[in-house]
Each structure stands twice: as C-alpha cells, then as structure tokens.
Amino acid sequence: MIHSIEGEVIAKEPNGIVLNVQGFGILVYTPLFTAQAAEIGQRIFLHTHFYIRENIMALYGFAENEERKFFLLFNDVNGIGPKAALAILSTLSLDAIRNAILAEEYLIFSRVPGIGRKTAEKILLHLKDKISPAEGYLAGGASVVDAEVVDALTALGYSVVEAQRALQSIPRDASDDIETRLRIALQHFGQ
C-alpha cells in the first residue's frame, strides 16, 4: 500500500521518527540505528511497510530495502510480530543476521530482548532456506568468531547494540582471529 516515504524529520521518538510529508506529521517506526542517525530538519527517504491488524495501523520504515525484506521475513515467523522484528533489526546488523542464519546459530537471535531460545530456533527454521550463502559476506567460521567478540564486549559492560556497532566497524578484510577482531572492536570505543 505505502511502499516508501520521503519527508523532513520534525521529531525523534524512542521507537521511530516523525516525518513532515506535505504538512502531515507521520510517525514511522524504525530500527534504532535509523532513528539515531536521523537529524531534525534532515530530508529522509525510507522504504516502508504499512502494517494493519484488527486495532493497529502502523508504518514501519527502513533505510535499506534489505532491512524491510528481513522485517517481512521475521513477521512470517510464528510468534514474531512487528515489534519483535523491529527489535531484531535494532539489535543485530544485517550481516550478523545473515551469518547467524547461514551458520544456523540461533543463540545470536536469543540475545535480542524479548526473543527466547524457542523463538530463536523458530527464526532459524523458518529462514534457513530463504537466505542463500551468496548473501553472507563472511566465510567459514567468522560468524562464530564475531559472536565471541560480541560476547566479550557484552561481558565488558557494553550493550548488545554497542557491541554490534563495534563489530560493524571491523574491516571486512580483517583477520578472523578473535583477539585481533576484539582489539579492533575496542578501538571503536576509543580504548
């Protein structure tokens, strides 16, 4: 119905942004990274999904079309609604999601607040045939190493979101050695 939206950011909400679209203030629920990157007064374009249920109408927006793709895939999983799908996209990077699915590592999804072990296993079961190996950028066991880096960062007191951001700062050509990847991730925090 509403495939995309473009407008000026007039307010930031805890779970999204408000866009001025020809005089209308429209609340668009977005992943945390998108909401944090948006600046008041900035003109922004989002790929959207208009969600309608019995007593709910909501517009969800994504900076990348692939985020919308995963949002829709997560919504197809029994027990995952739009809030949980958005929580996954707010906690895990697209690369982490793809690689968790390809490596069949459900524990990565169970790190998302509100996603337990059984739901994480359902996600893998539902999505494992929908993601091709060509879509994952990490080779071999790098996904396992990255999961250990996230574990180490969260053990040091960083949130999962902060740990994922630090993980994204690691160059793709960096060594698969956990110590090297952890050192690079810590540099993201200025340590």
Q: What is the pLDDT of residues 66-117, one digit of tens each?
A: 999 999 999 999 889 999 999 999 988 888 888 888 888 888 888 888 899 9
The per-residue pLDDT string of the chain (191 residues; one tens digit each, 9 = 90 and over) reads: 789 999 999 999 988 999 999 999 999 999 998 998 899 999 999 999 999 988 889 999 999 999 999 999 999 998 899 999 999 999 888 888 888 888 888 888 888 888 999 999 999 999 988 876 555 444 444 456 777 887 788 888 887 778 877 887 888 778 878 888 888 888 888 85
10 Å Cβ neighbour count for 92? Answer: 24
Which residue, among 73, 76, 79, has the nearest Cα to 100 in the 3D structure?
A: 73
Task: Identify the structural domains of the chain with CATH numbers, from first to last.
Answer: 4-62 (2.40.50.140), 77-135 (1.10.150.20), 142-188 (1.10.8)
Q: And the tokens for 140?
A: 């071999």
If we measure between CA atoms, which residue out of 108, 72, 70, 69 comes closest to residue 91?
108
Determine the Cα–Cα distance for residues 82 and 75; give it in Å rounded to an integer.
Answer: 6
Entry pTM: 0.72
Burial of 98 (0-12, 13-18, 19+ CB in 10 A): buried
DSSP-derived 3-state class of residue 80: coil
